[in-house]
Chain A
Amino acid sequence: MSMTDRVARLRQQSLDAVPAISTERAELMTAFYRQNLGMISAPVRRALAFRYLMEHKTVCINAGELIVGEKGPAPKATPTYPELCCHTLQDLEILDSREKIPFAVSQEAQRVYAETIIPFWQGHSMRDRIFAEMTDEWKAAYEAGVFTEFMEQRSPGHTVLDDKIYHKGMLDFKADIARSLAGLDYLADPDATAKQEQLKAMDICCDALICFGERHAAAARALAQAEADPQRKQELERIAEVCTHVPAHAPRDLWEALQYYWFVHLGVTVELNPWDAFNPGRLDQHLLPFYQRGLEESTLTRAQAEELLQCFWIKFNNQPAPPKVGVTAQESGTYTDFAQINLGGVTGDGKDGVNEVTYLLLDVIEEMRLLQPSTSIQVSKKNPDRFIKRAAQIIRTGFGQPSVFNCDLIAQELVRQGKSVVDARNGGSSGCIEVGAFGKESYILTGYFNMPKVLELTLHDGVDPRTGRQLGPRTGDPRTFTSFDELFAAYAAQLNHFVDVKVRGNAVIERLYAAHLPAPFLSVLIDDCIAKGRDYHDGGARYDSTYIQGVGLGTMSDALTALKHHVFDEGTLSMDALLAALAANFEGQERTRQLLLNRTPRYGNDDERADAVMVRVFDAYFDAVDGRPNTRGGRYRINLLPTTVHVYFGSVIGATPDGRPAGTPLSEGISPVQGADRRGPTAVVKSAAKMDHVRTGGTLLNQKFTPQVLKDDVGLDGLVQLVRTYFKLDGHHIQFNVVDAATLRAAQAHPEQYRDLIVRVAGYSDYFCDLSEALQEEIIARTEHEDFQ
């Protein structure tokens, strides 16, 4: 472990900072919008709003910092975005008082909201607009928990940067914009004026970020003048120099590169509140030239680089995810904002991408042990085992990071979607497990889709048994079905219906964002928005994908396998008896429940009888979603991840034929039902590999290990080989939770003693004690894979 006093202090400051609501951004936006209701195009209005924020938001330089700038006025002072979603006073009270993931809301903040923010924005936010535009059918499905909606509180996101900012300053982007403007053909192109407005907006945003940098330079200079400590004085002068050079110009060294990225990160996450914040992507590859040059020219040592990177890491941890309200808060109850840094993989020309900065960053991850940023290793068959093993040593410490991705498969997935090979190799993962062509794609996750809820509706002829309401089409009384195929056809019909409803809603929402909330600053950063003169939200990106995230694959597989096996194949249960047991939530029918749990082939055991059903569920979902056009010139794709929504989705479903009691969590990602996998991790991996991962944009597989399995070198090698084999079988992603159940129980009983316990939840890491009790229970229940020595 190596951590300078400075880093230790900043890290502790970050850990100790209490997440609080800052009204600064909301106040600035309100003031701006009050004065700018005139004849301004939407992109230019958003650009001017962005400039107003960059000119007026508080400049924060914390004591001892080397990398500067905060999203709010201080660490963990969290801005709000009332133009998207305006919190009510009640929302603020809940945020302030809730047990998990609270945000402190001061009296003053409440007053500002009551007097200024709410009167101006209530009824006029994007969220209000979206709900006003949705059909009754959409609202009924949404309220029943068939799907969630990502865009009602946060803007389209999951965006990852490529290497462009390391070669170009904002002045260079301005030159590109000017060229694009000069090339507009007003005679032949009916969209020329719209493009002109978009490009003008982007230009304003570049200036805004330069201004933001200069304000930090000025603040650093002022601090330097007042500083008594000569060393700190020198540092502050250097910070001033760095912030004068970037973001206006391309960075010249590692310090400038990191500071530039950080300004860009703040710009994107202050402009709007995109999902998963913003991501630097292949940081090890981007930083390598700066690192090597620094060493060669003796202007940088490894220790200095490490300290700069540690300071950079802490900046991410200072930014909790924007606080949400309602169902969305249940979808992802976490402070993590899912910025995910990718390590390793391959280079654009297909060579081994692991370099010395990769190992340096792995050291930083291990030393920092922070919730944010999330980190992943991108594993290619071309990478050395040493790389995975080094990551496994960190995974073993039980902090849930880094997660592990199949870089070669991700490239295949992206190529299948129509990306060029080079763009695909330069892509990777972001957020939980979603994939994209870094710096060139807008890939929008639009909401989780509750597959087991659709099965429940299928088993009730389209009626939601919780409310008695006819939600879906009438696909027949299942008691009349004579074959499993008939049942499956009914499920597929219900599935297609609800995907139709969701996609129709998405089309409206995509257009609302394009029309009212363009993102001109983000558009500067993503190819080919400048060349096309189009916004990121309106098809400006080179590639445009829209995702609906399938949830509950394991539950679905086991439930359908139980129906197939017991009702149609073996005749151990009649449909009538099974439905009656479900309606009774198995009360008085424990024997039936045990039959379903223990005498049914189950997904996750390399048992073809169950896995074949899983593949059918997967294919049906793929067929229902993939290839549909979105409104941005791209296509719909699928991925399979839940974050924490499998708990909420489970809460709206009664008992299911896999023996799951009413209201309990669904399986998460593509992991087997909690406790259903009884043949060890190789069987899980084999089962999971039977779906065609190439046709997804990401799947999430969670494996829990007790520390004992990985305690020695043999265990670490076993982990490496498990990963290698899963990836050879074209698995997308695997993550490991290394912690024992006894520890988790102890943490539940004495949370105060286990505040630091970080666990991998479902695509990200979180503090165990911050999780809801249901999620805690679910993690404990998840199968522990031990070797049976």
Chain B
Amino acid sequence: MTGVIFDIKKFSIHDGPGIRTTVFLKGCPLRCLWCHNPESQSPRPELMLRPQRCIGCGACVNACPEGAIALQDGRVVTDMERCARCGACAAVCFAEARERVGREVTVAEVMAEVEQDVPFYDESGGGVTFSGGEPLAQPDFLRALLIACREREIHTAVDTCGFAPWEVVDSLRKHVDLFLYDLKLIDEAHHRRFTGASNALILANLRALAERGHAITLRVPVIPGITDDEENLRQIGALAAELGIQQIDRLPYHAIGAEKYKRLGRRYEMEVNR
């Protein structure tokens, strides 16, 4: 069983209880304007460039099977149109100016890394958080990981936007110890406008999980001018109260994603809009 991830971060202390390892699964059905992990959105591998690290050795020029890279006045220029995101250039870029984001990994490979920090989970009441991207977008892979964690008595949290068919959620939920459930906007039209999708499914899934007694922490990204108006926050609070959800975490907005958009050669709409 394999899946596509784009990162594993240890010593996560803000993604569920205790010291955790966060596994970032690649691919997301939403396109939130403020997304700070743009490399997480596409399910396919991508190329990230950090030109300031380039030493101008030219190894990438020779490595590229598409002939998409050229050395001009000692500077490397990449034709992103021709780039197939194969990662051949990144493999020979010792200076790490070119990085292929997204790798296919087996459950065993992920678990080997996850298990390294078991002493920290035990000490702190921590565990693993599956995040993304949207982890529910790779349901079979996620299920296998969750089962592997349970076998090893590692606490699991799933950080989800909730946008997945109920059958998918239903097939996974009994293997999950805690849902970190992102809720952005209650207003359907707003939701559609800023994330590219309706929130009907999200709200229905949330309700269904709550009714079945699952442990849920609501996570609300506080995006200035979008989610932070009083009415939206009040409605989220009311919904939480109705569903008996005790914990609401506000996630402050930060612009660290802006740099990533640049590395991906993409436009950061959030910045453009402001």
Contacts and interface: CB of A to CB of B under 8 A. Distances in A.
Interface in B83-106: 94-96
A785 to B, nearest CB: 7
Mostly, the B contact residues are: loop
Given A598-B96, A721-B19, A590 B55 contact: yes
B13 A714 contact: yes
Interface stretch (B26-34, B72-80, B116-124, B172-180): B116-124
B214 interface: no
Contacts of A715: 13
A598 B94 contact: yes
Given A598-B96, A721-B18, A679 B119 contact: no
Contact of B59 (A591, A686, A717, A729): A591
Mostly, the A contact residues are: helix
Contact of A718 (B11, B59, B95, B117): B11
A680 B11 contact: yes
Contacts, number: 73
B247 to A, nearest CB: 13
B2 interface: no
A597 B96 CA distance: 10
Interface in A715-742: 715, 717-718, 721-722, 724-725, 728-729
A722 B95 contact: no
A722 B19 contact: yes
B117 A686 contact: yes
A598 B254 CA distance: 29
Nearest to A724: B123
Contacts of A682: 10-11, 19, 116-117, 120
Given A591-B57, A728-B119, A718 B9 contact: no
Contacts of A721: 18-19, 120, 123-124, 126
Contacts of A724: 123-124
Interface in A324-342: none
A718 B19 contact: yes
Contacts of A594: 55, 94-96
A729 B13 contact: no
B12 interface: yes
Contacts of B12: 787-788
Interface residues on B, range: 20 to 34
A789 interface: yes
B55 A785 contact: no
Contacts of A591: 55, 57, 59, 94-95
Interface in B1-54: 9-14, 18-19
A679 B116 CA distance: 12
A725 B123 contact: yes
Contacts of B117: 682, 686
Interface in A583-599: 590-591, 594-595, 597-599
Contacts of B11: 680-682, 718, 722, 785, 787
A421 interface: no
Contacts of A590: 55, 57, 95
B41 to A, nearest CB: 17
A683 interface: yes
B116 A683 contact: yes
Most B Cβ at <10 Å: residue of A597, A679, A714: A679
A788 B57 contact: no
A766 interface: no
B15 to A, nearest CB: 8
B10 A679 contact: yes
Contacts of B19: 682, 718, 721-722, 725
A593 to B, nearest CB: 8
A554 to B, nearest CB: 19
A234 B120 CA distance: 56
B6 to A, nearest CB: 12
A606 interface: yes
Contacts of A717: 13, 124
Interface string B102-140: 000000000000001101100110100000000000000
Contact of B9 (A599, A680, A686): A680
Most A Cβ at <10 Å: residue of B13, B19, B55, B119: B13
Interface string A371-401: 0000000000000000000000000000000
Most B Cβ at <10 Å: residue of A594, A599, A686: A594
Nearest to B8: A679
A787 B251 CA distance: 14
Given A718-B13, A788-B9, A598 B95 contact: yes
Most A Cβ at <10 Å: residue of B11, B14, B251: B11
A606 B13 CA distance: 19
A725 B124 contact: yes
B188 to A, nearest CB: 28
Nearest to A721: B124
Contacts of B251: 789
Contacts of B13: 714-715, 717-718, 787
A358 to B, nearest CB: 22
Interface in B225-245: none
Nearest to B252: A789
A682 B113 CA distance: 12
A104 B119 CA distance: 52
Given A590-B57, A591-B55, A682-B120, A714 B14 contact: yes
Contacts of A598: 94-96
A789 B7 CA distance: 13
Contacts of A680: 9-11
Contacts of B59: 591
Nearest to A789: B14
Nearest to B94: A594
Nearest to B24: A788
Contacts of B14: 714, 787, 789
Contacts of B116: 606, 682-683, 686
A591 B254 CA distance: 35
Contacts of B10: 679-680, 682-683
Most A Cβ at <10 Å: residue of B18, B55, B96, B116: B116
A603 B124 CA distance: 25
Interface string A677-719: 0011111001000000000000000000000000000110110
Given A718-B11, A718-B13, A599 B119 contact: no
Contacts of A595: 94
Contacts of B124: 717-718, 721, 724-725
A657 to B, nearest CB: 15
A725 B57 contact: no
A683 B19 CA distance: 12
Nearest to A594: B94
A365 B95 CA distance: 44
B123 A599 contact: no
A787 B117 CA distance: 16
Interface in A213-257: none
Contacts of B95: 590-591, 594, 598
A742 to B, nearest CB: 15
B123 A728 contact: yes
A591 B18 CA distance: 41
27 contacts: A591-B55, A591-B59, A591-B94, A591-B95, A597-B94, A598-B94, A598-B95, A598-B96, A679-B10, A680-B10, A682-B116, A682-B117, A686-B119, A717-B124, A718-B11, A718-B13, A718-B19, A721-B18, A721-B126, A722-B120, A724-B123, A724-B124, A725-B123, A728-B119, A728-B123, A787-B12, A789-B254
Given A591-B55, A680-B10, 20 more contacts: A591-B94, A594-B96, A595-B94, A598-B94, A598-B96, A681-B11, A682-B19, A682-B117, A683-B116, A686-B119, A717-B124, A718-B11, A718-B124, A721-B123, A722-B11, A728-B123, A729-B119, A787-B13, A788-B12, A789-B251
Which 9 A/B pairs are nearest by Cβ-Cβ distance? A594-B94, A721-B124, A718-B13, A680-B11, A594-B95, A725-B123, A595-B94, A680-B10, A591-B57
Interface of B: 9-14, 18-19, 55, 57, 59, 94-96, 116-117, 119-120, 123-124, 126, 251, 254
